[in-house]
Structure 1
Amino acid sequence: MNRHVRTTLRAALAAGLLVAGALAGAPGASAAAAAPTVLNTSAYTLSADYHQFDALNSALVSTLGTSAVHTVMDNANHDRQGLASGFSVAGLSTGFRFDDGDDTDCRSYPQGITTSRDAIGTANSGNYDGHQLVLVSWYTADACGGDQQRSRITLVDWDATYPNKYRKILLVEPTGTTAAPSFKDIPIHAGGISWYGDYLYVADTGTGMRVFDMRKILNTDTGGTADQIGRQSGTVYYAHNYAYVLPQVGTVTAHTTDTDKLAWSSISLDRVSKSIVMTEYTCPSGCTKYPNRPPRALRFPFASGATTFAATTTASQALRLPWYKLNGVASHNGRWWFNSSGQKQLYYWTPTAGPSAFAWVGGGESISYWEDSTGPDLLWSLQEPTGSRNVFAVTQATYGGG
């Protein structure tokens, strides 16, 4: 546990703000009313293109240069802080919040979560380029409660060797020509992310996933106006005053012969089966922005021995789910977790044990499984409501994992 978080949790305990049941003990599982049903996997496929922007990205790298992850973190310019006073959830292990500006920003909302443990496993303490990191995706709207305008990630140091800092990086799509390369905003929800090897997979609701390469973080010019994006003139490139941008390298597109197109609401990495799992945010009825039907969850395996998908991939598992308003999914070694923000429930399911339901936080978003070779495995998650953006980890065994 990071030194800053240890201090925060000790203070909260001393003040009586964290109940004992939030740190140890079961949250009181109840049997879920219904279980997932198996679907035909052949109805769901992916096509992958990792070279979609090769020429433009080569030109951008030549023009702007890149910064490695350790350089970005050496220049981290935001301070993270401890969990909110009074925050409690069963099995709580550790966590943090963003600075006050990000915690209360009504235009930007945290969504997806992944970690360097996803990227490389437990080797070398889960360090990527010398840092143990928690990575969170955000979308930014054009106004409070407005339309999605752009998306970004934050890289958060989670290592007592380094300061309690984080840095924002804008996600961009390459545009222009090789003679005059540029980039533009990516106005997606970024509801789920998975970091595997050097690649970052970001859910794109109507398409599948956009792919980014963590070795290709570009340097940009700060200054200009807050709305300037891309090449301005010559070699001057602005990105809403971000010093770093991460350009898209490819796209993983979903296809289905089912009547209903997939809604890629959230994704997560399963390192055991070397696959990405996804689920849909849907409603039982009455929604205008989301489908009104039962959601599905799918598993897509990576190519053998690779951190990329084959040119064409068929799902290896497909489920119809009995739960709704799902903002998060995780799977590990045959076990599944689904977070329902609408019900404040974390559902746990295996084909043999069946379903269980646990009380969960309000405003919950994505989930990431944290493997640990020396301590309990964890589930990382986060909350999106303004003023209550706790990023936290719980022991997975508390939620049926065993």
Structure 2
Amino acid sequence: MSLRTRICALAAGVIALASTMFAAAPTAYAASTPTNLPVGQYTLAANYHQYDALNSALTSTLGTASVDTVMANANHDRTAITDSLGLAGYTGGFGFDSGDNNDCTNYPQGITSSRDAIGTANSGNYDGHQLILVSWYTTDGCGGDQSRSRITLVDWDATYPNDYRKILLVEPTGTAAAPSFKDITVHAGGVSWYGDYLYVADTGHGMRVFNLKDILKTNTGGTADQIGRQSSGVYYAHNYAYVLPQVGTITASTTSGTSLVWSSISLDRVSGSIVMVEYTCQSGCTAYPNRAPRAVRFPFTSGATTFAASTTATEALQLPWYKLNGVASHNGRWWFNSSGAHQLYYWTPSTGSHTYAWVSGGESISYWEDTTNPDLLWSLQETPGHRNVFAVEQASYGP
């Protein structure tokens, strides 16, 4: 969520609170713990071959780069965290360079890692690297409209330099004879890496799917606004050297009467599923729904990193908390981050809910499994000047 939107939403929330502080809370918001919803109301339709012909042509024309090659050409230095986050179980993390840390046109949102992608095998290395992946959205000016989306691959491994590389997310266009690509303007509020596939939340629709084996090499040296195939046959991407083309779409539908808002997602490796959560307001918001939010779990095909052509949810919850920008689940446990309340909520059906102090400007959450050290929760902050990517011991936020 952009800083401008959050400030507007906060102001509206203060007004709404002032007008209702002597009134009873609406019944719809009275619950203090999540409640179950009918799982049959929520389904996904998956298409992993939507752009096969175009992507084949793009690969033939441009050639691909492995993740190892991309990281060998990483051109940004990650920095140490200097803010005092005051979090229980804090184990460390990193920041971005000064340009990315202070940029008012780019906002970090989602987080996942190579531990999501392949688990704990080989120390969680994908193509030889232990990586943190962060999704961003770009605006057409400070406080402007969304114009494109990108990811950042960050080495989190003492074997390699403390570097990161940006990759533009693109949608294939054109024809097989003259393939091209265009910007993707999704909010990229959540992201999950599973096997080779990268799932990116698309707020009003579901998820877009990418394949980390399909990173394309593009030309640099064009103007900042050039994107796709030029009349000369050269391919530019706002001066990005690498682009990741979309391979398919996961479309969500519901019979509940209210479409899901895909604000954030996270991978649960234990159950082989993706969980999603909605950002909503109790009242006073204009850009977001004013109602109780939901969290829904969708399972992958057994033994695969893909969804079936049609998938029905296996868990659906109505939540009592609001302004949720992050979600994680592991072994039947749930965590929800509220950027509005600066709190992290932990819940299981058997133990109930617990509330913990959390950071301001908090965004998505990713669960980090470990066989020799404590499991972690990774998260990040979007606020310009304080874009910390950090980890805490999971045990400090629920058993």
| TM-score normalised to structure 1 length | 0.91
Say whether residues 1:73 and 2:108 are aligned partners.
Answer: no
Q: Which amino acid in 1 is paired with 2:289?
A: P
396, 399, 402: which is aligned to 2:397?
Answer: 399
Please give the residue correspondences for 1:38-117 in structure 2 after superposition, counting only pairs within 5 Å. 38-117=36-115
Whole-angstrom CA distance in 1 between matches of 2:374 and 2:31 = 29
**Residues 344-366 of structure 1, C-alpha deviation per residue, up to 9 Å, x if partnerless?**
01000000000110010000000
Residue aligned with 1:118, SS: helix
333, 336, 341: which is aligned to 1:343?
Answer: 341
Q: Which amino acid in 1 is paired with 2:176?
A: T
**Residues 26-82 of structure 1, C-alpha deviation per residue, up to 9 Å, x if partnerless?**
xxxxxx970000000000000000000000000000000000000000000000000
Say whether residues 1:133 and 2:125 are aligned partners.
Answer: no
- CA shift, 1:233, in A, is 2.6
- CA shift, 1:234, in A, is 4.2
Q: Which amino acid in 2 is paired with 1:54?
A: D
Q: Which amino acid in 2 is paired with 1:119?
A: A
Whole-angstrom CA distance in 1 between matches of 2:49 and 2:146 = 26
Q: Which amino acid in 2 is paired with 1:384?
A: E
Whole-angstrom CA distance in 2 between matches of 1:84 and 1:326 = 26
Whole-angstrom CA distance in 2 between matches of 1:345 and 1:170 = 32
Please give the residue correspondences for 1:1-400 in structure 2 after superposition, counting only pairs within 5 Å. 34-400=32-398
| Unmatched runs of 5 consecutive residues or more in structure 2 | 1-29
Contact 2:83 2:386 in 1 (8 A): no
- CA shift, 1:147, in A, is 0.6
Whole-angstrom CA distance in 1 between matches of 2:291 and 2:344 = 20
Contact 1:379 1:396 in 2 (8 A): yes
Whole-angstrom CA distance in 2 between matches of 1:127 and 1:292 = 42
Contact 1:63 1:235 in 2 (8 A): no
Whole-angstrom CA distance in 2 between matches of 1:351 and 1:179 = 55
Whole-angstrom CA distance in 2 between matches of 1:87 and 1:203 = 27
Whole-angstrom CA distance in 2 between matches of 1:91 and 1:124 = 25
- CA shift, 1:87, in A, is 3.2
Contact 2:111 2:366 in 1 (8 A): yes
**Residues 243-285 of structure 1, C-alpha deviation per residue, up to 9 Å, x if partnerless?**
0000000000000001111000000000000000000000001
Q: Which amino acid in 2 is paired with 1:217?
A: I
Residue aligned with 2:326, SS: strand
- CA shift, 1:90, in A, is 1.4
- CA shift, 1:86, in A, is 2.6
Whole-angstrom CA distance in 2 between matches of 1:390 and 1:284 = 28
Residue aligned with 1:62, SS: helix
Whole-angstrom CA distance in 1 between matches of 2:194 and 2:247 = 15
Whole-angstrom CA distance in 1 between matches of 2:355 and 2:143 = 31
| TM-score normalised to structure 2 length | 0.92
| Unmatched runs of 5 consecutive residues or more in structure 1 | 1-31
- CA shift, 1:88, in A, is 2.7
- CA shift, 1:84, in A, is 2.1
Residue aligned with 1:182, SS: strand
- CA shift, 1:301, in A, is 0.3
Whole-angstrom CA distance in 1 between matches of 2:364 and 2:44 = 22
Whole-angstrom CA distance in 1 between matches of 2:165 and 2:129 = 13
Contact 1:137 1:191 in 2 (8 A): yes
- CA shift, 1:224, in A, is 1.1
Residue aligned with 2:213, SS: coil
Q: Which amino acid in 1 is paired with 2:159?
A: T
- CA shift, 1:304, in A, is 1.1
Contact 1:348 1:399 in 2 (8 A): yes
Give the total of aligned pairs: 370
Whole-angstrom CA distance in 2 between matches of 1:91 and 1:261 = 37
- CA shift, 1:375, in A, is 0.2
Residue aligned with 1:331, SS: strand
Whole-angstrom CA distance in 1 between matches of 2:110 and 2:57 = 30
**Residues 181-213 of structure 1, C-alpha deviation per residue, up to 9 Å, x if partnerless?**
000000110000000000000000011000000
Partner residue in 2 for 1:26: none
Residue aligned with 2:239, SS: coil
Partner residue in 1 for 2:27: none
Residue aligned with 2:396, SS: helix
